[in-house]
Structure 1
Amino acid sequence: MFRFRLGSIPVEVQASHLITSAVLGLSFAPAGRPGLIGSMGFQVVSWMFIVFVSVLIHELGHAVASKAFGYQPSITLEWMGGHTRPNAPGPIPWSRDVLLTLAGPLFGLGLGIACYVGKRSLGHQSDVLAYLLGVGALANFFWAGLNMAPVLPLDGGRITSVLAMRLFGRERGFLWAQILAVITSVGLVLWSIDNRQMFLAVFFAMFGFQALRAAYDAMKGPEQESREQSPQANTLQRAQAALAKNQLEEARHLAATVLDSGEALTPDLASRAHHTLGWVALKKGQGRMALDHFSQVQGQPVEPQALAAAFSLIGDEGRALPLWEMAWRDSGDRTVMHEYAGSLIRAGKEPQALRLPQVDPAAAFSCAERVLFIRGAFSEAAAMGERALAYAPSATIAYDAACAFARAHNIPDAVRLLQRAKELGFRDGTYAASDEDLAPLHGNPGFEAWLTELRQSAPS
């Protein structure tokens, strides 16, 4: 194994990749060809070089597309091919996923065209170079086409799965993609056998079997899946149901029980339990704990808005902003958009926040205020509350700003905002008297007078 970098992109080459390409050289050596080209050593070295360059360029296509979207990709070459990790900060939107995947075959096709043009331009000047360019062109054309077959783990299979799930829904789309993969694999196996390409026949037979198993699992009925579920899986379902009802302590207890189940704990259950606990921590305003749990989630995406909220809670708006933007653009949800706007405001980018389409400035400043309040930046939260109040006079906004001022021990401004809340319709003196956020005001004459006014104005 060796490593190097292409600019900022790290590349790792496994020994299995070099061994496989050498075996290909032995398999495709032209029998009886005289001279250097016909020698076994030349064939092995040339195929190792051609496969290495071809696969590297293919993976570089994925990596360059990843860089274009702001990700930090890394490349690994192993066995007959390789893979590129985009290392995105969160789940990748389906449209980007398709483009990232398609970039690999396009780069390979481009290399094939370059080799073909190079060979045509070379003429008869060098038999060795002409051979290398010819094989390079053929290999890249063949692989670019084959790699677009709608069979996982090929690029075509990934694109088909993403588009099918987008069109037909996650479960049905995945099932149809696997059925198509099975049909395609059977056809390619028959074609390979007919053309005496046994390596390809075995290749697609394995992929077809994997697709068949995946399709079978996808077709299992809910009742059968329920019967097959372990007690830990049922406990986790209860935890997720409690989370949906905002019963956070119950959800936390049940998910933690799953993690403590010892040998019965599978990687999938552990991942799902951490995902649930991450959301529990998030709803409790515990950003760092949420990130700790989300970092242990494997095999399933963590929602970008969840990661964004966690980073915002710990004050890392630099990481939160691209995630908020991704979540908003992918979902189109106005609530997410206002959270994104709030993050922009906290990052000092207020003009950009207020330029978002159909943004409600009061909602944006309120989102900025809430996170600052949770972080304990009470003075800054109060200032955001007053900005929100300027855009939308509201008893709730005024009361929340008063709470922030009270927590910041700014008694005069807290009382001032409480008076404003009363003017705007706040009447719940009982709630205010027991509100822990207003505890610093207890005993203050202005606050006590305000409470008395509320009680006197309350309906008997």
Structure 2
Amino acid sequence: MTKLFLFSMLNRRHNKEMLLAEPQSTPADFHFHIGRIPVRVTGWFWPAAGLFGWGLAQSLAGDDTRTLLIYLGVWVLVVFCSILVHELGHALAFAASGQSSRIVLYHFGGLAVPTGMPAPALKSPLRRLAVSAAGPVAQLCLAIVVVAIVMMLGYQVPDPGFLSSLPIIGNSLEEVSLAGQPIPSMLGRLMVYHLLFVNIAWAILNLLPVQPLDGGRIVLEGLKVFGVSAADQIASLFGLLIAGVVAVWAYQHQETYLMVLFGVLGVGCYQRLVSSGVRG
């Protein structure tokens, strides 16, 4: 399941630390608005989302091609909605600070890109912290809404799988998975499971204190809120250590995608340390 994480972890936003730049517009792009926020979905978003869900859909559908395509469609829809909610959280936080922005969904996840003149309010590290936290918080709120709706309808929340091993969250999900009647539709159970997996697991992973993930930005801006003069160096060093631990864990558990991801993030943290004058 780890390869599913990779799709949303490179969804950085608006500074020079972006691992991947916003892709250029193409005729295959799909455009719409959410209120005043423009949204662009690139043509490569859909096959990339499908690629990362292919293995799971195939394991569930077996040799039934029609069922495989249906399950894959459910996965892609969930990924689309979840990443859109994540970036919408950032965009709304920008708007609350007086900053306009646009959302781009592309083959490596999503971007909430500031537009126009920089808002004076974003000079405050506390405001920037709020913007960074808004994406994962939006996803966790979506997961809570999904659980609430399922329970209100009198159904069981699908078995949370590996999420049951998480403290607090796992116990809560395990309790609600035993209440009510099973969701009668396999597609319904699958959609709820995917929604919980993506919006809890990806949000938690994104909150790890490794730049340029949201958690790394939160640590950096939090240090600045408290006036720590070496905030950049401390955040980068902390991120380097965490990235190393996760990469080693992933290697030991043969989680190749996670290992590569945090290896790359660790290199980025080291480069920031070097550029800030800290030599190893």
Alignment TM-score, normalising by the size of structure 1: 0.44
- Greater shift, 13-22 or 51-60, is seen at 13-22
Q: 1:211 to 1:38 in 2, by over 3 A?
A: farther
Asked if residue 211 in structure 1 is aligned to residue 274 in structure 2, the reply is no
- Tell me the residue number matched to 1:22: 50
The partner residue of 2:219 within 134, 156, 160 is: 160
- Tell me the residue number matched to 1:11: 39
The partner residue of 1:151 within 194, 210, 218 is: 210
Asked if residue 65 in structure 1 is aligned to residue 119 in structure 2, the reply is no
Distance 1:190 1:168 in 2: 33
Q: Is the 8 A contact 2:58 2:68 kept in 1?
A: no
The ranges of structure 1 where at least 4 consecutive aligned residues each deviate by more than 4 angstroms after the TM superposition are 32-38
- Tell me the residue number matched to 1:108: 139
The partner residue of 1:85 within 110, 113, 118 is: 113
- Tell me the residue number matched to 1:96: 127
Q: CA deviation at 1:89?
A: 3.4
Q: CA deviation at 1:125?
A: 2.2
Q: Is the 8 A contact 2:62 2:68 kept in 1?
A: no
Asked if residue 134 in structure 1 is aligned to residue 165 in structure 2, the reply is no
Alignment of 1:441-460 (within 5 A): none
Q: 1:40 to 1:138 in 2, by over 3 A?
A: same
Q: Is the 8 A contact 2:98 2:119 kept in 1?
A: no
Q: Secondary structure at the match of 1:190?
A: helix
- Greater shift, 68-77 or 141-150, is seen at 68-77
Q: CA deviation at 1:35?
A: 8.7
Distance 1:42 1:191 in 2: 34
* Residue type of the alignment partner of 2:217: R
Q: Secondary structure at the match of 1:149?
A: coil
Distance 1:37 1:175 in 2: 52
Q: Is the 8 A contact 2:247 2:262 kept in 1?
A: yes
Relative CO higher for 1 or 2, CA cutoff 8 Å, sep ≥ 6?
2
Post-superposition Cα deviations, 1:36-86, rounded to whole Å, max 9, x if no partner, equal: 799432343222211110000011111122222332221111223212124
Alignment TM-score, normalising by the size of structure 2: 0.71
Distance 1:59 1:104 in 2: 6
Q: CA deviation at 1:25?
A: 1.1
For structure 2, list consecutive stretches of 5 or more residues without a partner in the other structure: 1-28, 156-181
- Tell me the residue number matched to 2:19: none
Distance 1:82 1:67 in 2: 18
Alignment of 1:187-266 (within 5 A): 187-220=245-278
Q: Is the 8 A contact 1:56 1:77 kept in 2?
A: yes
Distance 1:38 1:201 in 2: 34
Distance 1:117 1:191 in 2: 34
Alignment of 1:407-418 (within 5 A): none
* Residue type of the alignment partner of 1:125: P
Distance 2:253 2:49 in 1: 21
Q: CA deviation at 1:168?
A: 5.1
Q: 1:80 to 1:118 in 2, by over 3 A?
A: farther
Q: 1:33 to 1:22 in 2, by over 3 A?
A: closer
* Residue type of the alignment partner of 2:256: M
Q: Secondary structure at the match of 2:100?
A: coil
More strand by share: 2
Alignment of 1:401-440 (within 5 A): none
Distance 1:11 1:174 in 2: 32
Distance 2:70 2:254 in 1: 25
Q: 1:43 to 1:192 in 2, by over 3 A?
A: farther
Structure number with greater Rg is 1
Q: 1:35 to 1:96 in 2, by over 3 A?
A: same
Q: Is the 8 A contact 1:114 1:137 kept in 2?
A: no
Q: CA deviation at 1:204?
A: 1.0
Q: 1:38 to 1:106 in 2, by over 3 A?
A: farther
Q: Is the 8 A contact 2:99 2:119 kept in 1?
A: no
Q: CA deviation at 1:220?
A: 4.9
* Residue type of the alignment partner of 1:204: F
Q: Secondary structure at the match of 1:73?
A: strand
Q: 1:139 to 1:166 in 2, by over 3 A?
A: same
For structure 1, list consecutive stretches of 5 or more residues without a partner in the other structure: 222-460
Distance 1:217 1:72 in 2: 30
Distance 1:134 1:220 in 2: 44
Distance 1:166 1:186 in 2: 26
Count of residue correspondences = 220
Post-superposition Cα deviations, 1:150-201, rounded to whole Å, max 9, x if no partner, equal: 112211111111222444545x210110011111111111222333322111
Distance 2:62 2:147 in 1: 24
Q: 1:32 to 1:72 in 2, by over 3 A?
A: closer
